[in-house]
């Protein structure tokens, strides 16, 4: 649920956003065959086709059906097929078998998208002020929702493609050969005290980013950049995956049960570590931030390094001092996390983009948080259990999607997102 419904948005502005976001999803799917768009490699992931359809279902269900008089649904079964976790909307197609939906075809899903686009465009173009006021927040939410699914489209696709023995190259990475050394790791001191945390207003935010509230921070230090591949390799070579000493108990269980020996998508070939991504399988870039590690691995590394992960509050307090700039998804393709640039003064680097940063904070409601009424209220609140907060966005996040108050969340064993981490430590 959006935190505000800014009435001052004009229909033209909204329409421009809507059109841009919808086109961006299709640009991502352009290099993919109908067969590629079917893949579902685990229950937590969804096929590209499902992502494309579900985001349309959102606009259809929450805007067109209740607000656009005379709107005709594209297909009576699509509401069932492309509903996600919206228990209040009615029965839904079981998540684990989303990969079995060969029909409707991808082509049909594109028609569905076009049908929704046309209806929403027509609706917005002729909407009066009241109608506009009623839907502005929902359209903005629908666009933010679709941007979330753009990132998921990429991460889920990479997971599925990683099983393919042909190691498919899906996207071209212009910057693939630009490798330089990362700057040395240094610490930036933060004094703490009572701080304001959460979305300050002015634009869109998800409900879980607020209410803005006070929290108390003790003095701490934050690393100037995320941990890199070469640093993570040292942990691996020092027996990081072989002894329980630095692991959370649940994390060590996963290491043993799943046989973790390296970040996800890493493979040792001819004595050298290589890594699969949608740009193909390549050797590790030593200076890029380590990516595709779980919270457990991040916490174990931090303990091994004599440090810890920052809380989401520490991260946000520090990150608020810097502009939201970084390596994000470009039009039509994600990018590769790469080495940080040289810092200026005591700058914190790569806070935004490159890799999501695991924090030490469980994903819980902020003081005063209340779940919205109705199905839209299912958006975030009911997931506030068993997950950890990640901050800052990644090279697979649309650039205009991220904010300093943005709270992403995944279970601590999740590794298929673009997830890395940055160290923090106490000041005694």
* Contact set with its own copies (CB under 8 A): 33-39, 41, 77, 80-81, 85, 87-88, 93, 97, 99-106, 160-161, 163-166, 168, 194, 213-218, 220, 244-245, 247-252, 295-296, 299, 303, 308, 360-362, 364-365, 367-368, 370-371, 382-386, 412, 426, 428
Provide, rounded to whole angstroms, the least separation between the CB of residue 24 and its own copies. Answer: 22
Name which of 52 and 160 has its Cβ closer to its own copies: 160
Name which of 33 and 344 has its Cβ closer to its own copies: 33
Q: Please compute, for residue 284, the number of CA atoms within 13 A of its CA located in the half-sphere on the CB side.
A: 24
φ and ψ of 415, to 5 deg = -130, -5
Q: Are 350 and 222 in contact (CB under 8 A)?
A: no
How far is it, in rounded angstroms, from Cα 315 to Cα 175?
Answer: 28
Provide, rounded to whole angstroms, the least separation between the CB of residue 277 and its own copies. Answer: 16
User: DSSP code of 358?
Assistant: E
> 356: alpha, beta or left, given left = phi > 0 and alpha = psi -120 to 50?
beta
* Cα-based distances in Å from 315 to 3, 50, 162, 221, 378: 22, 34, 32, 10, 27
- Largest alpha-carbon pair distance within the chain? 66
* Contacts with 345 (C-beta within 8 Å, 6 or more apart), sequence order: none
Name which of 3 and 288 has its Cβ closer to its own copies: 3
Provide, rounded to whole angstroms, the least separation between the CB of residue 182 and its own copies. Answer: 28
Provide, rounded to whole angstroms, the least separation between the CB of residue 354 and its own copies. Answer: 25
Name which of 103 and 257 has its Cβ closer to its own copies: 103
Provide, rounded to whole angstroms, the least separation between the CB of residue 162 and its own copies. Answer: 9
Name which of 211 and 343 has its Cβ closer to its own copies: 211
* Cα-based distances in Å from 185 to 72, 239, 340, 357: 58, 22, 11, 16
Provide, rounded to whole angstroms, the least separation between the CB of residue 43 and its own copies. Answer: 12
Provide, rounded to whole angstroms, the least separation between the CB of residue 262 and its own copies. Answer: 20
Angle formed by the axes of helices 295-304 and 249-258, nearest 10°: 110
Name which of 78 and 266 has its Cβ closer to its own copies: 78
Provide, rounded to whole angstroms, the least separation between the CB of residue 301 and its own copies. Answer: 15
- By C-alpha distance, which of 336, 248, 238, 234 is closest to 297? 248
How far is it, in rounded angstroms, from Cα 60 to Cα 104?
Answer: 17
Name which of 174 and 370 has its Cβ closer to its own copies: 370
Name which of 81 and 236 has its Cβ closer to its own copies: 81
């Amino acid at each position: 649920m959006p935190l505000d419904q800014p009435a001052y948005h004009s229909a033209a502005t909204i329409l421009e956003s809507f059109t841009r976001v919808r086109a961006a999803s299709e640009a991502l799917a352009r290099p993919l065959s109908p067969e590629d768009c079917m893949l579902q490699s685990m229950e937590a992931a969804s096929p590209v086709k499902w992502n494309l359809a579900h985001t349309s279902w959102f606009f259809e269900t929450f805007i067109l059906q209740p607000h656009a008089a005379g709107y005709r649904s594209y297909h009576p079964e699509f509401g069932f097929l492309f509903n996600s976790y919206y228990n209040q909307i009615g029965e839904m197609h079981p998540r684990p078998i989303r990969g079995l939906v060969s029909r409707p075809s991808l082509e049909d899903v594109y028609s569905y998208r076009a049908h929704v686009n046309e209806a929403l465009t027509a609706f917005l173009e002729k909407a009066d002020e009241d109608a506009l006021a009623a839907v502005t927040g929902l359209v903005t939410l629908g666009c933010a929702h679709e941007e979330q699914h753009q990132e998921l489209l990429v991460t889920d696709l990479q997971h599925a493609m990683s099983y393919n023995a042909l190691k498919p190259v899906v996207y071209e990475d212009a910057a693939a050969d630009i490798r330089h050394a990362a700057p040395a790791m240094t610490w930036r001191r933060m004094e703490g005290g009572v701080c304001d945390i959460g979305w300050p207003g002015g634009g869109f935010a998800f409900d879980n980013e607020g209410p803005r509230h006070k929290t108390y921070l003790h003095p701490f230090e934050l690393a100037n950049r995320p941990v890199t591949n070469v640093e993570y390799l040292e942990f691996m070579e020092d027996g990081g995956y072989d002894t329980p000493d630095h692991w959370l108990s649940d994390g060590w269980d996963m290491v043993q049960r799943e046989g973790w020996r390296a970040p996800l998508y890493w493979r040792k070939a001819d004595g050298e570590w290589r890594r699969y991504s949608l740009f193909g399988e390549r050797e590790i870039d030593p200076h890029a931030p380590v990516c595709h590690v779980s919270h457990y691995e991040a916490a174990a590394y931090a303990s091994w390094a004599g440090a810890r992960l920052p809380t989401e509050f520490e991260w946000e307090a520090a990150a608020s001092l810097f502009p939201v700039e970084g390596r994000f998804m470009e039009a039509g393709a994600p990018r590769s996390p790469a080495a940080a640039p040289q810092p200026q003064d005591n700058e914190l680097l790569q806070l935004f983009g490159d890799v999501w940063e695991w924090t030490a904070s469980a994903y819980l409601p902020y003081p005063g948080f209340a779940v919205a009424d109705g199905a839209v209220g299912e958006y975030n609140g009911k997931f506030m259990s068993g997950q950890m907060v990640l901050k800052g966005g990644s090279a697979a996040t649309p650039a205009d999607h991220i904010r300093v108050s943005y709270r992403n969340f995944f279970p601590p064993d999740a590794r298929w997102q673009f997830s890395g981490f940055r160290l923090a430590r106490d000041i005694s």
